[in-house]
Amino acid sequence: MKYVLFVATDPAGEAVDESPEAWVEKWNGRGVRTEGMPLRPVGETTTVRVRDGQVLVTDGPFAETAEWIAGYDLVEAADLDEAIEVAASHPMAAGGRMEIRPVEPLDLGPGTVNVPHEGDAPASRFLGIFRTDPSAPPVTPDPAAVAEWVREGLASGRYVGGEHLRPVQDATLVRRRGGELLINDGAYTDVPEWVTGIVFVDGDRQDALDYLARSPMARSGIAELREFWTDFA
């Protein structure tokens, strides 16, 4: 089963001197981890919403929280127990928090298949993070409209894949504190604006923002644009 691991910060985390490179090598070698990348600081986030036909772009994350997503990893685990084992062995399980989210396969029809990624070579410059917005009208995006948006992005090179996630009620939080493994139900932080999916977006920042603004998800939710931490010079 496919899971997304959100690597999150935690002010109450412990100091660690473990290298994430060793963790990557271990789980890549076992064929469990398929890809992952760190993200640039949350202060560089741009948030996009579309309300009543108006595109609302703001600098900064959706909310000021002490815990924020610092990166992601995609794993193919036999079950949740193996996904927990993978997450618990990450250095950030002690230094931060690890949220495990099952991927929910979403068939949008012909011409909407993800572009294959090549391990940790980023297929795109940005990660788009879609969230719910309790203050917005409760509208479920039309799958046909989502498919049209994906096909547009594939044709333009903006869309380079994505993952739809199961509801936050299926999230598992993993931490290591004082040598003890803590496993709880729930997300990396307790907010009503929970993550519904991720999308890989290429192009310059304005191109990426324009593309996210055209997504059906931005009309009833929140779209965060986060840049991968790598050199694009």
For the chain, domains (ranges, CATH) are 2-227 (3.30.70.1060)
| Distance of alpha carbon 176 from alpha carbon 113, whole angstroms | 37
pLDDT of residue 122: 67
Residue 184 CB-density burial (10 A; 0-12 exposed, 13-18 middle, 19+ buried): exposed
CA angle 86, 124, 139 (to 5 degrees): 80
pTM: 0.94
pLDDT of residue 231: 60
75-88: per-residue pLDDT in tens?
999 999 999 999 99
pLDDT of residue 141: 86
122-138: per-residue pLDDT in tens?
678 999 999 999 998 87
pLDDT of residue 115: 67
| Rounded (10°) CA dihedral 118, 120, 123, 125 | -170
| Distance of alpha carbon 157 from alpha carbon 144, whole angstroms | 20
The low-confidence residues of the chain, meaning pLDDT below 50, are 232-233
53-69: per-residue pLDDT in tens?
999 999 999 988 999 99
